[in-house]
Amino acid sequence: MGVDYSQLHDPNAEYTMRDLSAETMGVTRERGGNRDVEITDIQTTMVDGNFPWTLVRIYTDAGPVGTGEAYWGAGVPELIERMTPFLVGENPLDIDRLTEHLVQKMSGEGSIGGVTVTAISGIEVALHDLAGKILEVPAYQLLGGKYRDEMRVYCDCHTEAEADPEACADEAERVVEELGYDALKFDLDVPSGHEKDRANRHLRNPEIEHKATIVEKVTERVGDRADVAFDCHWTFSGGSAKRLAKRLEEYDVWWLEDPVPPENHDVQREVTQSTSTPITVGENVYRKHGQRRLLEEQAVDMIAPDMPKVGGMRETRKIADLADMYYVPVAMHNVASPVATVASAHVGAAIPNSLAVEYHSYELGWWADLVEEDVIEGGYIEIPEEPGLGVTLDMDVVEEHMVDGEELFDEA
């Protein structure tokens, strides 16, 4: 028998001056219609995709069930189980209060970042799906309405010969011509054969020239048929990142992503302000507080929050509003299943400064089968008009691809 994480003792959670439960806050008034609903349970199932996606389900006494997704990672299902007692009996329509309630309850367990925020994000996404179903409106309506009917998708591209510039260019052309995407991303933190020491973050000139050749071949091959971004995965030193970004200025780079580690915003600002190559970061920074300095100090040209990791749909909306004050566009990082991908598209539809949502699973043949609806067509996601997120899990596919040892959650 495993550990019952819902019963773990935590004095911080049991006593907090900012307990935001309905009982403590006095939120007990009847709402009328079909809006008097209580949460009865929260369950998770981990699916073994190209990442181990954590799917989340919230059950109610009235019948409707909300489905969400947390960013992948160990410990997330256990944290969601830990938080379930804090939401049982609550009205799921109070999304903002309930999210903040979880942040406060989990403050002793690290709710300023990391997997604790990720777990809260998965619950928050499921709350949007559930609230939309109860109110009979699509999720984007809960975020203020929409600016667009469809969301642009950028395809994260890979090839077996990822360090071969010509192979990358061939794949870029194939994804544009055969798959229909007009926005792409490739990795630049790939072996060049010129490395001397992988630990010191320093780029030698031959390494920089190798990366510039990848950028040159890919951007020249697709021309104006597609925008192309390049990802560095927090790999390089500040000086090397500056030299690389400067070297790429002559090419049509949509953005250069995460060239330096995410912890030191001062270095990030210096890199961004040293070059005309657009710089994008944000997937490894949590909640609006984590993104604040990047935006206030103009340390980014674009911001890239990962919605089911950063705090959820409303938190991403809050980050987008802050970014809009500095005229910074939002390009959402995303390595999720169709559930959180569509949830990200709802957020993208509801904010004015949205660029695109990432798609990281084009090599996974059954990704689209996880839900009954078509999600990506011609490089775009049409924003669903059905209540909630507008996607329905195919439970047979979920069960077929569960992580070993996982249990399937209850059907809706």
Query: Per-residue pLDDT tens for 199-224?
Result: 999 999 999 999 999 999 999 999 99
Cα–Cα dist 42/127, whole Å? 11
Contact 195, 203 (CB under 8 A): no
Helix (H, G, I), strand (E, B) or coil at 167: helix
Of 10-14, 80-84, 334-338, the poorest mean pLDDT is in 10-14
The more confident residue out of 243 and 12 is: 243
Ordered alpha helix ranges (H), 52-113: 76-87, 95-105
CA–CA separation, 267 vs 237, rounded Å? 9
Confidence of residue 355 (pLDDT cuts 50, 70, 90): very high
Provide the percentage of residues in the chain whose pLDDT is more than 70.
Answer: 100
Torsion angles phi and psi, residue 203, rounded to 5: -105, 120
Map tokens 């009847």 to a residue.
Answer: 30
The answer to whether residue 108 scores a pLDDT higher than 90 is: no
Structure tokens at 26: 């006095």
pLDDT band at 1 (very low <50, low <70, confident <90, very high): low
Longest dimension (CA), the chain: 69
Task: Read off the pTM.
Answer: 0.96
How many CA atoms are closer than 13 Å to the CA of 135, on its beta-carbon side?
A: 20
Query: Which class in CATH covers the domain with range 145-386?
Result: alpha beta
Domain ranges (residues) in the chain = 5-137, 145-386
pLDDT at 291: 95
CB 219 within 8 A of CB 252: yes
Predicted pLDDT at 14: 72
Fold of 5-137: Enolase-like; domain 1 (3.30.390)
State how far the Cα of 70 lies from the Cα of 336, in Å rounded to an integer.
8
Q: Quick one: DSSP state of residue 403?
A: P
Residue 305 CA to residue 282 CA, distance in Å, equals 5
Residue 186 clears pLDDT 90, i.e. is over it: yes
* pLDDT exceeds 90 at position 281: yes
Cβ(388)–Cβ(93) below 8 Å: no
Where is average pLDDT lowest: 5-9, 23-27, 75-79? 5-9
Say if residues 380 and 149 touch (Cβ distance below 8 Å).
no
Provide the CA 70 distance to its chain's centre, in angstroms.
9
Determine the average pLDDT of the residues in 364-380: 97
Q: What is d(CA 319, CA 344) in angstroms, rounded to the nearest whole number? A: 13
- At residue 17, the pLDDT reads 75
For residues 230 and 118, give the distance between their C-alpha atoms in angstroms, rounded to a whole number: 25
